[in-house]
Amino acid sequence: MEGVALGRKLFSDPRLSGNGTQSCASCHAPARAFSDTVALSRGADGMTGKRNAMPLFNLAWSPSYAWDGSKPRVRDQALAAMTNPVEMHADAMGVVAELSKDAGLGRAFAAAFGSREITAERVGRALEQYLLTLVAADSKFDRSLRGEAALTEDEQAGFALFVTEYDPVRGKRGADCFHCHGGALFSDQGFKNNGIDLVSADEGRAVATGKSSDAGKFKTPTLRNVARTAPYMPDGRFATLEDVVAHYDHGVKRAATLDANLAKHPDAGLALTSAEQAQLVAFLKTLTEVGLTGGPGAAVATQ
């Protein structure tokens, strides 16, 4: 509990940035399901990043972190953001020296780790403990499964499209969303090229693996709280859920590494009607939380 409380405090502490102006919460706002409001966040020195800030919840079930999956632990990703020159641009030892001046914070470290010593490793571990408590599992959709809420006709129709295969030869005319966004997490945790570019300027997963076959592939983001986390895609190019659905309906570009479940669709796309696209959006909005639970003292995103 003490480590979680310390991590929550550090998450909002601007002393983790090189110039003392930016905290983790600056780009991962609790009220936005721990995401940002802009396509590409600005770092402590005003430099613009090249990837959209991902939301931070249900991290305990993820096998890797960042859009390219290059970080194996939450603490690794947290410290990477802290020291990245485009992001918080801090020197780890400088952060430690600054935090060590705070007697109250020293007591918090002692409560969490058994001594007042502040190290970069302990900062990362505390942030990790806090972030792993952020759980999203109580949306309208979840409540409907428990019989505590009812989906509207449009939401139900959108869900049917979401979980139905696109296979007109066999009389199935769904949206195929479930292949990548199925299950309780609404993500398969895999890395896919979803056809936003023929040739991606950002090599994505290939940055981590060095494999040309991973070029343009990015981690499948969760759809939980998706109504809160606009703009969308790794570069934040789509402003609305309507834009995202339109992309998958008729905007997919046939990149060399395009995901097979998208490549099987005809060149003209799925040909969903405007009403069907609206129903999909209606369903996606049912995945929004009333609040994020993160244990005692955790930040809550209110509706």
Is the per-residue pLDDT at 302 higher than 50?
A: no
**What average pLDDT does range 88-103 have in this prediction?**
97
CB distance 289 to 225 below 8 Å: yes
CA dist 301 and 292 (Å) reads 6
Residue 302 counted as domain residue: no
Model confidence at 297, pLDDT cuts 50, 70, 90, reads very low
Model confidence at 43, pLDDT cuts 50, 70, 90, reads very high
Same domain, residue pair 10 and 126: yes
Phi and psi at 210, nearest 5°, equal 75, 10
Residue 295 counted as domain residue: no
CB distance 292 to 301 below 8 Å: yes
Residue 84, CB-side half-sphere exposure with 13 Å CA sphere: 21
Is the per-residue pLDDT at 295 higher than 50?
A: no
Same domain, residue pair 121 and 149: no
CA dist 121 and 75 (Å) reads 8
**What average pLDDT does range 80-85 have in this prediction?**
98
Three-state secondary-structure class, residue 88: coil
Q: What's the full length of the chain, in residues?
A: 303
Three-state secondary-structure class, residue 110: helix
**pLDDT for the residue 169:** 87
Three-state secondary-structure class, residue 30: helix
CA dist 182 and 205 (Å) reads 21
Picking from 48, 115, 122, 41, the residue whose alpha carbon sits closest to that of residue 79 is 122
Query: What's 177's DSSP letter?
Result: T
Kindly list the distances between the CA atom of residue 158 and the CA atoms of 17, 106, 277, in Å, as whole numbers in the listed order.
43, 51, 8
Q: Which of 108, 131, 154 is the last residue of a domain?
A: 131
Element (H, E) at 218: strand 218-219
Same domain, residue pair 96 and 179: no
Residue 296 counted as domain residue: no
| Beta bridge pairs of residue 48 | 42
Helical spans, DSSP H, in the chain: 2-11, 74-83, 92-99, 103-113, 120-131, 140-145, 153-162, 178-181, 205-209, 241-246, 260-263, 274-285
Same domain, residue pair 119 and 212: no
Residue 126 counted as domain residue: yes
Q: Which domain holds residue 189?
A: 140-285
In tens, the pLDDT along 230-277 reads 999 999 999 999 999 999 999 999 999 999 999 999 999 999 999 999
CA 100 remoteness from chain centre: 32
| Mean pLDDT of the chain, nearest integer | 95
In tens, the pLDDT along 116-150 reads 999 999 999 999 999 999 999 999 999 999 999 99
Residue 83 counted as domain residue: yes
In tens, the pLDDT along 8-41 reads 999 999 999 999 999 999 999 999 999 999 999 9
No. of helices (H) and no. of strands (E), the chain: 12, 4
Same domain, residue pair 82 and 126: yes
- Split into its structural domains, the chain has a count of 2
Same domain, residue pair 78 and 151: no
CA dist 24 and 95 (Å) reads 14
Residue 266 counted as domain residue: yes
Same domain, residue pair 183 and 124: no
**What average pLDDT does range 83-101 have in this prediction?**
97
Same domain, residue pair 280 and 165: yes
Question: Buried (b) or exposed (e) across 199-216, using 16+ Cβ within 10 A?
Answer: ebebbbbbebbeeeebbb
- CATH number assigned to the domain comprising residue 94: 1.10.760.10
Same domain, residue pair 127 and 226: no
Q: Which of 66, 97, 131 is the last residue of a domain?
A: 131
Query: What's 251's DSSP letter?
Result: I
Picking from 254, 131, 257, the residue whose alpha carbon sits closest to that of residue 205 is 257
| Beta bridge pairs of residue 191 | 219
Is the per-residue pLDDT at 54 higher than 70?
A: yes
Same domain, residue pair 186 and 219: yes
**pLDDT for the residue 85:** 97
Same domain, residue pair 206 and 94: no
Amino acid at 80: A
Model confidence at 293, pLDDT cuts 50, 70, 90, reads low
Residue 273 counted as domain residue: yes
Picking from 197, 198, 205, the residue whose alpha carbon sits closest to that of residue 66 is 205
Residue 303 counted as domain residue: no
Same domain, residue pair 147 and 68: no
**pLDDT for the residue 291:** 67
- Residue 27: which residues within 8 A CB-CB, separation 6 or more? 36, 41, 53, 87
